[in-house]
Amino acid sequence: MAERLAGRVVLVGWSSADWKVLNPLLDAGKLPALQSLVELGVKGHLNSLSPMLSPLLWTSIITGHTPDHHGVLGHFEPDEATGAARLASSTSRKVKALWNILAESGMRSVAVNWFASQPAEPIPGAIVSNLYPKARAAYGQPWVLPAACIHPPSLSETLSELRIHAGDLTGDDLKALIPKLERVDQIADRRPLTLAVALAESLTAHAAATWLIENETWDLLAVHYSALDLVCRTFMPFHPPRMENVSETDFELYRDVVATVYCYHDVLLGRLMELAGPDATIVLVSENGFHCDGLRPSGVPSLDDPSSGWERGHGIFAAAGPGLRQDELVFGAGLLDIAPFVLRLLGLPAGQDMPGRILPDALVNPPEDVRIPTWEAAPVDKPEDEWDRAAALAELAELGFVEPAPTGEFVRVSVQNDGTLAHVHMAAGRFAEAIPLLERGIVAQPSPVARMALAHCYQVAGRLEEAQALIEAVLAEDPNRSHAWLIKANLALAAGETEAALELLNEAGKRGAGNAQLQHRMGLVYEKMGRLSEAEECQSRVLELDPQFQPACTSRARALLELKRNDEAASMALDAVNLRYDDHSAHLLLGIALAREGQAERAILALETSVRYRPTSAAHTWLAFLRERAIVNPPEALYHRQRAAELAGRS
């Protein structure tokens, strides 16, 4: 066992929290708890995964594995025994969560309100599942706990008394968030009720967490607050500055809700920090961000729909405690880094099958990242899966927490989860694995989104005629689908029809394609045409609109490299790496730029990192060159020449 850096770890999840909202509140002195955390520790953006669906992302955070490995692909899963849909659960998860790993190592955990944690698993410590805070009855009626939502069961009576119903919140409680509440017709306008439900859930989770902090022995406390996500989906359209499609009346009524709920979360965070004590390391994360400025889409945010365009690919990361640097920034952190990081804080190694890093930049004295092969060798003690998932699902749908999944939805959920898995493969560059999943889904339910995804996969695979047929069919049904025009432009570019691609991109812009995305695609077309200065200018405009649009950083670095502006290329590639550390192409560009600048040691480090994430012939060729000419190492040079030749032969 390695040196243990933290006496205890508190892992706090704020759904959809975003530094774009937090930073102005910090500057105004409205978030004292978070301010203390940042000043005493580290902060940074947290790269999300694709697709941005909450159950997938929170399960990746707590396991350190991607969705294709951990097995949670959505709120629901098909139940082959009944032919219906059922809620995803702790028994759906194929790998160990942090609390399972700690249990195997003789440590105790407390987990509250984590996605897919029902039924509660039997571990040393306590688990309070994600069904615990959801009201299952009208106000004033008996509110029975779901079966198996708390382990150990002996805590059920005590914790059931701590729950807060939306009906417990008074008008005065809500007026703190909606000062002009008396002007709202709460029969016709249900938004105040949505706010009350979201707050009641998070208060319930907080009440359980704080009681368990004081009354249980634990090494890890993991608590998830879901309110911000629901609040953002309801009230972010009214956040300043006012959007064109928002009425003055709604703007004045609801403009302060999002910021006030953020401040409310800070109060809860402060209480957790106080109870945890000075020996505890606090780790605060969100699974993705949520657009709050001029990049907000015009449509209404929908329930956990990543295609709506409201989610942002960067969540938040902040941590403070013994062994961590103080008042420093951490770059390039991602969701998959959190589990290895927490394990390292508690003196445990990550598994070699966990893709994430231990975030050495966050540590005062970063240790060597020594790993064991896997934590999955020994079986986990799973709970009996006897709770009534169908009844639980019906109740949650009735309360509006999830979309209804009627009896007989086996096919729909199967298709939906296959589509999710396909997008996971696509994000990892495994388009060949995505194609059969999408093809199978389209046969059952030919949705436009699935057909566009399949068209993109066909394009990457070189099956351009099939891709073209799919896109034409989508546009024949709805010519205003801007994303279909973007894909059509990609197809023209793949066919070498660059002028046609530019025309199609202009058409996409007329149909409502986002300006940053549009400028990025135009830059790629200009790059293909060899018009590198125009390509670089396009990507610069993208970064003026959205400085965290990481693909534009990578594309601009590539254009700068071609223009022989090596110093600028290195700087831009470093920005790309800092936004997304696992981008192998950004590390490759950084390595080439540094090599041209004569910085051989740094170049080799960047190129080796690129190879670690995805081996390419180009990276191995440059490594061979540097080992032959700069930092001479003939055996390594020979190895890289051989690998470069092997990879070139496969392409």
Query: What's the confidence (pLDDT) of residue 609?
Result: 95
How much is the pLDDT for 82?
A: 72
Which pLDDT tens digit goes with each residue over 202-229? Answer: 999 999 999 999 999 999 999 999 999 9
Average pLDDT rounded to a whole number, residues 591-603: 97
304 confidence band (pLDDT: 50, 70, 90): low
Q: Between 3.10.350.10, 3.30.1490.100, 3.40.720.10, 3.10.20.740, what CATH number should domain 8-291+305-391 receive?
A: 3.40.720.10
pLDDT digits (tens, 9 = 90+) for 316-326: 999 999 999 99
Asked if pLDDT for residue 174 goes beyond 80, the answer is: yes
Under the banding of pLDDT at 50, 70 and 90, the label for residue 1 is low
Angle at which helix 464-477 crosses helix 482-494, to 10 degrees, equals 160
Asked whether the predicted pLDDT for residue 495 surpasses 70, the reply is yes
Are 420 and 88 in contact by the 8 Å Cβ rule? The answer is no
Task: Say how far apart CA 149 and CA 109 lie, in whole Å.
Answer: 16
* pLDDT value for 390: 54
pLDDT tops 50 at residue 125: yes
Cβ(221)–Cβ(284) below 8 Å: no
Which 8-state DSSP code applies to residue 176? T
Amino acid 407: pLDDT: 47
The helix or strand, by DSSP H or E, that contains position 46, with its residue range, turns out to be: strand 42-47
Q: Where are the domains of the chain?
A: 8-291+305-391
pLDDT at residue number 78: 82
pLDDT at 94 over 60: yes
Continuous segment of H or E residues that includes residue 79: strand 76-79
Between 511 and 292, whose confidence is greater?
A: 292
Closest C-alpha among 503, 455, 495 to residue 475: 455
Angstrom CA distances, 541 to 371, 510, 538, 554, stand at 42, 18, 5, 14
Q: What is the mean pLDDT of residues 347-368?
A: 94
Asked if pLDDT for residue 625 goes beyond 70, the answer is yes
Task: Judge contact between 154 and 171, C-beta under 8 A.
Answer: no
522-533 confidence digits (pLDDT tens): 999 999 999 999
Q: Which residues contact 503 (CB under 8 A, 6 or more apart)?
A: none
3-state helix, strand, coil in the chain (%, to 5): 55, 10, 35
pLDDT score of 371 more than 70: yes
Q: Is the pLDDT of residue 446 over 90?
A: no
Which residue has better confidence, 379 or 82?
Answer: 379
pLDDT, the chain, mean: 92
| Alpha-carbon torsion, ordered 72, 76, 80, 82, to 10 deg | 150
Q: Are 130 and 113 in contact (CB under 8 A)?
A: yes
Give the C-alpha separation, 10 to 323, whole Å: 15
Q: Note if the pTM is more than 0.75.
A: yes
Percent of the chain with pLDDT over 70: 95
Q: Is the dihedral of CA 421, 98, 378, 384 positive or negative?
A: negative
Q: CA angle, 206 as apex, 32 and 182 as ends, to 5°? A: 75
Q: Is the pLDDT of residue 459 over 50?
A: yes
pLDDT of residue 399: 47
